[in-house]
Amino acid sequence: MDTSATPTKKKILIVDDDEAMVKAMTRFLRLDGRFDIDHAYDGIQAGEKFIQQQPDLVILDLRMPRVNGFQLCKAIKNDNLAKGVKVLIVSGVIDYEHPENIARLQADGVLAKPFDNQQLKRKIDELLKPSGSTAK
């Protein structure tokens, strides 16, 4: 019996109201081949998809209609059923001069817009690497 299992793809939910940004990230991450990708364009839609999909990682913009990224990040991090879900903030409004504002988000990672695909890939790899593994 073959005991080597094919690793399951990690689920990523991209949440951003910028359709072009969502399409670009989705295209890049699908080409990588290691991820199942879904997306939402606002916080309400993201909350619904979060419950349905149970992603491993949420890539989240801060400024969105209806429910913003601050509210959604807080809801995810305070949900006992979401323990272990990583949140990566991607935003053009990150205030690095006041790191306490970033810390208050409780996000697992932050990436300032604009960023390139390799920066995104490195950050995702860092957040989704199995616990106990070491960086090469």
60-118: per-residue pLDDT in tens? 998 887 878 888 888 888 887 778 899 999 987 766 555 566 677 788 998 888 899 99
**Whole-angstrom distance, CA of residue 14 vs CA of residue 26:** 8
Question: pLDDT grade, residue 131 (50/70/90)?
Answer: low
- The residue with greater pLDDT, 69 or 9, is 9
Query: Which residue in the block uniquely carries the two structure tokens 């990682």?
Result: 57
CB atoms within 10 A of CB 86: 21
CB contact set of 76 (below 8 Å; sequence gap of 6+): 50, 58, 82, 85, 87
Asked if pLDDT for residue 121 goes beyond 90, the answer is yes
Q: What residue ranges define each of the domains in the chain, with the CATH number in brackets?
A: 10-63+70-77+87-128 (3.40.50.2300)
**38 DSSP assignment:** E
Evaluate the omega torsion of the peptide bond into residue 65 and state whether it is cis, within 30 degrees of 0.
no
- Measured in whole angstroms, the distance separating CA 86 from the mean position of its chain's CA atoms is 7
Sign of CA dihedral 57, 62, 66, 67: positive
Task: Indicate the pTM of the whole model.
Answer: 0.85
Rg over alpha carbons for the chain, rounded to the nearest Å, is: 15
Q: Coil, strand or helix: which one is 94?
A: coil
Query: Nearest-CA neighbor of 48 among 13, 12, 86, 9?
Result: 13
For 12-61, what is each residue's pLDDT tens digit?
999 999 999 999 999 999 999 999 999 999 889 998 999 898 999 999 99
